[in-house]
Chains A and B, each alone.
Chain A
Amino acid sequence: MNVPVDLANLRSMTDGDREMEVALFEEFYSSFETGIAELEASVEAPAAETWRKQAHALKGVALNLGAGHLGELGKKAQDEYQAGAEAKTALVQSIRTEYEQVKLFLQKLAA
């Protein structure tokens, strides 16, 4: 079964500390909710650098969590920072959809 997150790396860092893991999940939600809002606000060309930096930050967070597909979407957003507003809006939507799946997965895990 395909899961949206592989926690092996994260767990190598937390040494299986459940409390730290849950705190990191919360930090992940916070980073992505703020980050997606920032992306949505910077789809227009003059904000391309803000878009690129935000996409880069989200890519790093997703990769460190172990959310590979979400990380790939972050990379795509970073690489395509000069795309048009329509393409960027579609990309943010893809990121949001994948993020919601990851969040659901983590919430089930933490429950």
Chain B
Amino acid sequence: MASSEPKSSPDDPKLKKEQAKPALNPLFTAEQLQYIKNSSAERRALMVPTLLIVEDQEFSRKLLEGSLRATYECYSAVNAAQAVALYAEHVPCIVLLDIELPDMNGHDLAAFIKRHDPESFIVMVTANHYENDIKRAVENKVQGFVTKPFSKQKIVDCIDKYMRERKVKP
């Protein structure tokens, strides 16, 4: 990591002490889990992927929505709780997931989704370049890590990667 990186990151124990608010403890119901499992083949077969944008910052969310909506079916969540509900309802092909969410850390949400839906395709989206964020993204086996500023090319590259890697069964 570059020498200009800050000494403290959001994982700084001093900060953790300050964060008194309990994080969201997400849960899929048994029915939702079954639906996610049943939707897997249908999801793989889609020629135009569906996207779930999880971003609490309105400017960045509108920028992504505005850029992608004309071509892709997009769902948007402003926090982790909404993201979990929308994921269970729509089982999106690709999740564009901000790391700093108001009710839960994006890495924890990625780990939760991956645990319950190993075929999920998650791209972490952040303005940070912390070494720990990259490490956690690798640990969670997410498929992408996009830093702000967004560009159309960065997003299209992620969607292309999904299209290449999805395994369409005959």
Q: Which residues of A are in contact with B by a Cβ distance under 8 Å?
A: 9-10, 12-15, 17, 20, 23-24, 27-28, 30-31, 46, 48-49, 52-53, 56-57, 59-61, 63-66, 71, 78-79, 81-82
| Cα separation A39 to B64 with both chains bound (whole Å) | 26
- Asked whether, in the complex, the Cβ of A14 is within 8 Å of the Cβ of B8, the reply is no
B77-128 residues with Cβ-Cβ distance < 8 A to A are 100, 126-128
Range of interface residues on B (Cβ < 8 Å): 20 to 34
Interfacial chain B residues near A27, Cβ < 8 Å:
58-59, 62
Q: Determine the residue in chain A with the shortest Cβ distance to B17.
A: A49
State how many angstroms separate the Cβ of B110 from the closest Cβ of chain A.
18
B152 CB within 8 Å of chain A:
yes
Interfacial chain B residues near A53, Cβ < 8 Å:
100
- Asked whether, in the complex, the Cβ of A61 is within 8 Å of the Cβ of B18, the reply is no
Name B100's contact: one of A17, A56, A64 (CB within 8 Å). Answer: A56
Assess A48 versus B18: contact at CB under 8 Å? Given A12-B152, A13-B150, A63-B148: yes
Q: Which residues of B are in contact with A by a Cβ distance under 8 Å?
A: 6, 8, 10, 14-15, 18-19, 56-60, 62-64, 66-67, 100, 126-128, 148-153, 155
State how many angstroms separate the Cβ of B18 from the closest Cβ of chain A.
5
State how many angstroms separate the Cβ of A51 from the closest Cβ of chain B.
11
Assess A31 versus B8: contact at CB under 8 Å? Given A12-B151, A14-B67: no
Name B149's contact: one of A46, A52, A66 (CB within 8 Å). Answer: A66
| Cα separation A78 to B148 with both chains bound (whole Å) | 15
Assess A28 versus B59: contact at CB under 8 Å? Given A12-B151, A64-B149: yes
Interfacial chain B residues near A28, Cβ < 8 Å:
59
